[in-house]
Chains A and B, each alone.
Chain A
Amino acid sequence: GQQLNQSPQSMFIQEGEDVSMNCTSSSIFNTWLWYKQDPGEGPVLLIALYKAGELTSNGRLTAQFGITRKDSFLNISASIPSDVGIYFCAGQLIRDYKLSFGAGTTVTVRA
């Protein structure tokens, strides 16, 4: 699938800070997904978004499906050390099995 533009590529965060990352595409998607990958593990699904404009929360995580269907963002509030890892966005077309992945945002906690 096509590569999505995910930013930032990496970020250092202070414990307690809010974190934001986003993903954009040149074409529309019907589903946006956010995954987190810990070192040595596979990506784990955090949030799935199915409708343009949808805002969904999962604990301290909040994600939104952009109105244009070409973008999505993920917010992490009050970050904690276990939030470190690589966050991937993925877009999917309706009734399609293919996922288009972003390159990932690496989150590191600043000591």
Chain B
Amino acid sequence: DAGVIQSPRHEVTEMGQEVTLRCKPISGHNSLFWYRQTMMRGLELLIYFNNNVPIDDSGMPEDRFSAKMPNASFSTLKIQPSEPRDSAVYFCASSLGKSDEQYFGPGTRLTVT
């Protein structure tokens, strides 16, 4: 069974550009999470979807960040405009139910120059 799939694996962009990260959760999982990992702050939850509906976006840093989940098998995290401080590894994770074990994707390493 395929795990969580993320694309791209690496993204290098210039400050001010729009960045879109993509995630395909494990089939049958109804909860999806976007995390950001940095050396300084560790793993931070950005947003949580349940049954494609955003439930908790309190971790989204600012209005430049937005996330969507148009269907059960696809989610995007968009940063517009991007800034150098957005450089981090972004993970998508999914779980069967909201409090079940979370399975992480391989991550997208974002570098904003």
List A residues at the B interface (Cβ < 8 Å): 1, 3, 31, 33, 35, 40-45, 48, 88, 92, 94-99, 101, 103-104
Task: Decide if B71 is an interface residue (CB 8 Å cutoff).
Answer: no
The majority secondary structure among interface residues of chain B is strand
Q: Which of A31, A42, A98 contacts B107 (CB 8 A)?
A: A42
Residue on A with the closest CB to B43? A101
Task: State whether A45 and B101 are in contact (beta carbons under 8 Å apart), knowing that A97-B31, A97-B33, A97-B48 are contacts in the complex.
Answer: yes
**Which chain B residues lie closer than 8 Å to A99 at the CB level?**
43, 45, 102
C-alpha spacing A95/B95, complex, angstroms: 13
B42 contacts A103, C-beta separation under 8 Å: yes
On whether the beta carbons of B103 and A98 are closer than 8 Å, the reply is: no
B residues in contact (CB < 8 Å) with A: 4, 31, 33, 42-43, 45, 48, 50, 55-56, 91, 93, 95, 98-99, 101-107, 109
A1 with B101: in contact, given A41-B106, A97-B31 (CB under 8 Å)?
Answer: no
Complex CA–CA separation, A19 to B18 (angstroms): 44
**Chain A residues with Cβ under 8 A from B93's Cβ?**
42
* Chain A proximity of B3: nearest CB distance (Å): 9
**In the complex, A101→B112 CA distance in Å?**
26
Name which of A3, A88, A101 has the most chain B CB atoms within 10 A of its CB. Answer: A101
Pick the contact of B101: A40, A41, A48, A88 (CB < 8 A).
Answer: A48
From known contacts A1-B45, A42-B107, A104-B42, infer whether A97 and B98 are also in contact, taking CB-CB under 8 Å. yes
- Give, as a whole number of angstroms, the nearest-CB distance from B45 to chain A: 7
Task: With A103-B42, A104-B42 as known contacts, state yes or no: A97 contacts B106, CB within 8 Å.
Answer: no
In whole Å, how far is A61's beta carbon from the nearest beta carbon of chain B? 16
Residues of chain B contacted by A88 (CB below 8 angstroms): 43
Contact indicator A92/B99 (Cβ below 8 Å): yes
Contact of B99 among A1, A42, A45, A94 (CB under 8 A): A94
Q: Are A97 and B43 in contact (CB under 8 A)?
A: no
The answer to whether B31 and A42 touch across the interface, beta carbons within 8 angstroms, is: no
Contact assessment for B104 and A42 in the assembled complex, using a CB-CB cutoff below 8 Å: yes
Residues of A within 8 A of B99 (CB): 31, 92, 94-97
